[in-house]
Amino acid sequence: MHRVGLKQWGFKGNDNLKAAESGITIRGVVNDIKSNLNSSDSRPVIHLGNGDPSSFCGFRTTSIAEDAVEASLRSAKFNGYAPSVGLLPARNADFLFLFYKYRAVAEYLSKDLKDKITSNDVYLTIGSSQAIEVILSVLSCPKANILLPRPGYPMYEAHSAICHLEVRHFDLIPEKDWEVDLDQVENIADENTVAIVIINPGNPCGNVFTYQHSKKIAETARKLGILVIADEVYGHLAFGSNPFEPMGNFGSIAPVITVGSISKRWIVPGWRLGWLVTNDPQGILKKHGIIDSINGFMNISSNPTTLIQGALPQILLRTNDDFFSNIIDILREAANVSYHFIKNIPSITCHNKPEGSMFIMVKIDVSMLDDILDDMEFCTKLANEESVVILPGVAVGLKNWLRISLAIDPESLIEGLGRLKEFCMRHAKKK
Ligand SMILES: *Cc1c(COP(=O)(O)O)cnc(C)c1O
């Protein structure tokens, strides 16, 4: 048979996905920077670009987690498809051992919550990345817009673009410990605004919000009639004066969707186990169909691997405090060392010593540097000349800043900072 009229292939890729292929993801930008590394430099490359310390021996996960996965595998109970998350009544049936894991997440998070959550409030996802995808897809409807922090985590922008959710940015203020500019939030929101995204402890800023500020965010959300999406992937990775306060504690002020995972606190980002949790004692999400939509999405999407699901109760509930406090101590020390070291580099300023997550955000003054136009060129030349990889601020929404990862073995961090200083000195404008 002969088909007429088909002059060319009638398909093309989604333009929003093409954009996500390169420039606008952290991974894409880090890869760009890495492509400038000079292979004839005999020194080891120092990776301060992304936040995955799992390859450093000081950051190995706890043996509790490793043993739990082994036991999960050997039990032969987790070789099947994961049960459907849509079955709400079944998720209440705690005697059903397949559902232990939902209860485990509820129990783990409830330790820090005034309004306890149950397994019904928990959805297991493929890392918090999938939880982000779920909630943005659920909220995207014609004309809807979402408020995202600047600087922020570009996955939110990328997924918003894919599901045609309009993005409006509000600023985090460096001079105020990276607090949210709440006046601006009120100004940019309108009747089509659906949610505000808060990342606490902060990536990329390394800040931890005070109890008061988190409460004010919830109150602003209430005033605007929007929900709060609380990205708590770095939950509990706080080592400064502000203790970590889960946004879920303000769920009675405005409904909160919390996303989290074991990736960062347990340093196993490759295990791909996260969650989406609803903190909504007033039942507003249910009333507005959000819960039905989440269930619908989960029913047609894939689940995290069952081996890790099977291990989850042990991982969440049996890990001892020594493991956590050791990681916290390493990060606190790295934050101290970096902050004081960077203070002595004239062309770089750091407003705040990091108090959480795994990063330090610093500002470069390009006017003090010769032959460097912006942060992108800074990082490109730094990679080429010093074999140090750092993320340029543009990747997280702040031009002429740098995000430096603290999650690396201490010797390499010091070596990397030393090379950074050398680089800045060499490129300093002559008076
Ligand atoms: C790492 C990270 C994520 C994604 O982590 P998962 O491994 O998918 O759980 C989400 N949000 C922020 C702010 C992150 O830094």
Say if 17 falls within a structural domain: no
pLDDT at residue 97 greater than cutoff 70:
no
pLDDT at residue 94 greater than cutoff 50:
no
Mean predicted lDDT score pLDDT of the chain: 91
- 204 lies in the same domain as 261: yes
87 pLDDT band, cuts 50/70/90, is very low
Say if 12 falls within a structural domain: no
State if residue 405 touches ligand 1 by the CB under 6 angstroms criterion: no
State if residue 53 touches ligand 1 by the CB under 6 angstroms criterion: no
Among the candidates 255, 286, 318, a domain finishes at 318
Q: In the chain, pLDDT over 90 holds for what percent of residues?
A: 80
Given this model, what pLDDT does residue 99 score?
54
pLDDT at residue 377 greater than cutoff 90:
yes
pLDDT at residue 91 greater than cutoff 50:
no
Q: How far does the centroid of ligand 1 lie from the alpha carbon of residue 233, in Å? A: 6
Q: Which domain holds residue 395?
A: 22-60+322-427
- 286 lies in the same domain as 356: no
DSSP letters for 346-373: TTEE-SS---BTTEEEEEE-GGGBTT--
- 46 lies in the same domain as 100: no
Q: How far does the centroid of ligand 1 lie from the alpha carbon of residue 371, in Å? A: 35
- What is the mean pLDDT of the segment spanning 305-311? 90
Q: What is the pLDDT of residues 136-183, one digit of tens each?
A: 999 999 999 999 999 999 999 999 999 999 999 999 999 999 999 999
User: For 76, which DSSP code?
Assistant: T
Given this model, what pLDDT does residue 7 score?
61
Say if 8 falls within a structural domain: no
Q: How far does the centroid of ligand 1 lie from the alpha carbon of residue 259, in Å? A: 9
- 86 lies in the same domain as 149: yes
Given this model, what pLDDT does residue 262 score?
97
- 124 lies in the same domain as 49: no
Say if 173 falls within a structural domain: yes
State if residue 125 touches ligand 1 by the CB under 6 angstroms criterion: no
- 43 lies in the same domain as 168: no
- 394 lies in the same domain as 370: yes
Q: How many residues does the chain have?
A: 431
CATH (domain of 92): 3.40.640.10
88 pLDDT band, cuts 50/70/90, is very low
Give the per-residue SS3 of 159-190: HHHHCCCEEEEEEEEHHHCCEECHHHHHHHCC
- What is the mean pLDDT of the segment spanning 187-211? 98
Say if 109 falls within a structural domain: yes
Q: How many independent structural domains does the chain possess?
A: 2
Instruction: Work out the burial of residue 175: count CB atoms within 10 Å of its CB; fewer than 13 is exposed, 13-18 middle, 19 or more buried.
Output: exposed
67 pLDDT band, cuts 50/70/90, is very high
Q: How far does the centroid of ligand 1 lie from the alpha carbon of residue 417, in Å? A: 25
Given this model, what pLDDT does residue 178 score?
97
Given this model, what pLDDT does residue 80 score?
82
Given this model, what pLDDT does residue 11 score?
76
355 pLDDT band, cuts 50/70/90, is very high
CATH (domain of 55): 3.90.1150.10
State if residue 231 touches ligand 1 by the CB under 6 angstroms criterion: yes
Say if 10 falls within a structural domain: no
Structure token digits, residue 91: 């998720």
- 277 lies in the same domain as 342: no
Given this model, what pLDDT does residue 23 score?
53
State if residue 280 touches ligand 1 by the CB under 6 angstroms criterion: no
Say if 16 falls within a structural domain: no
- 111 lies in the same domain as 214: yes
State which of 153, 268, 277 you would mutate to test the pocket of ligand 1, scoring each by most atoms of that ligand within 8 A of its C-beta: 153
Residue 356 near residue 208 (C-beta atoms within 8 A): yes
- What is the mean pLDDT of the segment spanning 45-50? 92
Q: What is the pLDDT of residues 387-405, one digit of tens each?
A: 999 999 999 999 999 999 9
- What is the mean pLDDT of the segment spanning 358-371? 96
Say if 15 falls within a structural domain: no
> Tell me, what amino acid is at 159?
H
Reply yes or no: is the peptide bond before residue 201 cis, omega within 30 of 0: yes
- 328 lies in the same domain as 314: no
Q: What is the pLDDT of residues 210-237, one digit of tens each?
A: 999 999 999 999 999 999 999 999 999 9
Ligand 1 atom closest to Cα of residue 130: 8
User: For 156, which DSSP code?
Assistant: H
3 vs 88, more confident: 3
Given this model, what pLDDT does residue 299 score?
87
96 pLDDT band, cuts 50/70/90, is very low
Among the candidates 283, 318, 353, a domain finishes at 318
Among the candidates 284, 318, 352, a domain finishes at 318
Which residue has the CA at smallest separation from atom 5 of ligand 1?
128
Q: How far does the centroid of ligand 1 lie from the alpha carbon of residue 130, in Å? A: 9
Given this model, what pLDDT does residue 71 score?
94
Least confident range of 177-186, 307-316, 334-343, 409-418: 307-316
Q: What is the pLDDT of residues 277-298, one digit of tens each?
A: 999 999 999 999 999 999 999 9
- 272 lies in the same domain as 311: yes
Given this model, what pLDDT does residue 92 score?
40
Which residue has the CA at smallest separation from atom 2 of ligand 1?
233
Structure token digits, residue 221: 């959300």
State if residue 258 touches ligand 1 by the CB under 6 angstroms criterion: no
Given this model, what pLDDT does residue 81 score?
79
- 237 lies in the same domain as 299: yes
- What is the mean pLDDT of the segment spanning 193-213? 98
